[in-house]
């Protein structure tokens, strides 16, 4: 299974929106996809239409009690897409993990035992704590949504330092799949400036596809649907389809066929 962590310690940059819509796009292309909600706020779980009653087992049980993927994953209304939901318990996990064995390798161990999914996307919380470290230790690669705003690049160096630390200590195979510019507003000159700066600084690391600011993307979660289903034709959905194709193109050769 290919595992991609979607991380940025800033909140509100588009991690969850990216996780939900890329997961949906991949499932629509025929992949067997697992989405892991690793944010105690549970936005990915809610945004995909999972109510509290459907969250009997969660990412907390997987991390803390070692419950397997098969027991924790629930199907979504999107064929080919399963989710391991998050519950509020997860907010305690950051502290509880401190005192368990192999505190950064729990997620990796659980995901390694899964044989039913081909690709796993992990929606990380807005921090660089033990939950995000578990995601980075479990992942082959990292996808970083970056909001096109003035402070976008601040914080990125801290994130990249964390990646290096993870590579040295727990996961030498962790690579950066790409940085995706989100909430791009072409009428705003500052946005353009930021996008140019990020590209000249990080070059090929930045995905060509850019996610526009699009109100349909922000409406979709309140309907419990990925934007790709809620309004397939909107500019945001189209951008996520394009990004998904680009992402597949960046996966190592032997893994593209699905």
Q: Which residues bind ligand ADP (CB under 6 A)?
A: 11-17, 43, 126, 182-183, 211, 213-214, 217-218, 221, 236
Residue matched to tokens 């105690």: 40
Nearest of 174, 175, 156, 178 to residue 242 by alpha carbon: 178
* CB-nearer residue toward ligand ADP: 12 or 30: 12
Contact by Cβ (8 Å): 128, 5:
no
* CB-nearer residue toward ligand ADP: 44 or 130: 44
Neighbours of 249 (CB within 10 A): 8
Nearest of 143, 127, 117 to residue 4 by alpha carbon: 143
Smallest separation (angstroms) from ligand ADP to the CB of 124: 8
Q: Which partner, Mg ion, ligand ADP, none, binds residue 221 by CB below 5 to 8 Å per kind? A: ligand ADP
State the number of CA atoms in the 13 A half-sphere of 10 facing the CB: 19
* CB-nearer residue toward ligand ADP: 13 or 241: 13
Chain centroid, CA 60 distance in Å: 17
21 in contact with Mg ion (CB under 5 A): no
Smallest separation (angstroms) from Mg ion to the CB of 196: 27
Smallest separation (angstroms) from ligand ADP to the CB of 42: 11
Quick check: helix, strand or coil at residue 99? helix
Task: Give the span between the Cα atoms of 44 and 85, in whole angstroms.
Answer: 8
46 in contact with Mg ion (CB under 5 A): no
Q: Which partner, ligand ADP, Mg ion, none, binds residue 178 by CB below 5 to 8 Å per kind? A: none
* CB-nearer residue toward ligand ADP: 171 or 214: 214
* CB-nearer residue toward Mg ion: 62 or 131: 131
Residue matched to tokens 């509100």: 12
Options 8, 9, 24, 43; binder of Mg ion; rule CB under 5 A: 43
């Amino acid at each position: 299974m290919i595992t991609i962590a979607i991380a940025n310690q800033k909140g509100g940059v588009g991690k969850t929106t990216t996780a939900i819509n890329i997961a949906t796009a991949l499932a629509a292309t025929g992949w067997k996809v697992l989405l892991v909600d690793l944010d105690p706020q549970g936005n990915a779980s809610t945004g995909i239409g999972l109510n509290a009653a459907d969250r009997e087992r969660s990412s907390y049980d997987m991390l803390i009690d070692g419950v397997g993927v098969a027991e924790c994953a629930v199907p979504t209304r999107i064929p080919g897409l399963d989710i391991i939901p998050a519950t509020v318990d997860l907010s305690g996990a950051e502290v509880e993990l401190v005192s368990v064995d192999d505190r950064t390798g729990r997620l990796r161990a659980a995901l390694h035992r899964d044989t039913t999914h081909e690709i796993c996307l992990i929606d990380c919380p807005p921090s660089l704590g033990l939950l995000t470290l578990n995601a980075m230790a479990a992942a082959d690669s990292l996808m970083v949504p970056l909001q096109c705003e003035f402070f976008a690049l601040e914080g990125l160096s801290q994130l990249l330092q964390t990646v290096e630390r993870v590579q040295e200590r727990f996961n030498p195979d962790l690579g950066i799949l790409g940085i995706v510019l989100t909430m791009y507003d072409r009428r705003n000159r500052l946005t353009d400036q930021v996008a140019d700066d990020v590209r000249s600084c990080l070059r090929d690391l930045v995905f060509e596809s850019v996610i526009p600011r699009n109100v349909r993307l922000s409406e979709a979660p309140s309907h419990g649907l990925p934007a790709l289903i809620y309004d397939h034709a909107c500019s945001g959905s189209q951008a996520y389809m394009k990004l998904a194709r680009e992402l597949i193109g960046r996966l190592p050769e032997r893994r593209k066929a699905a």
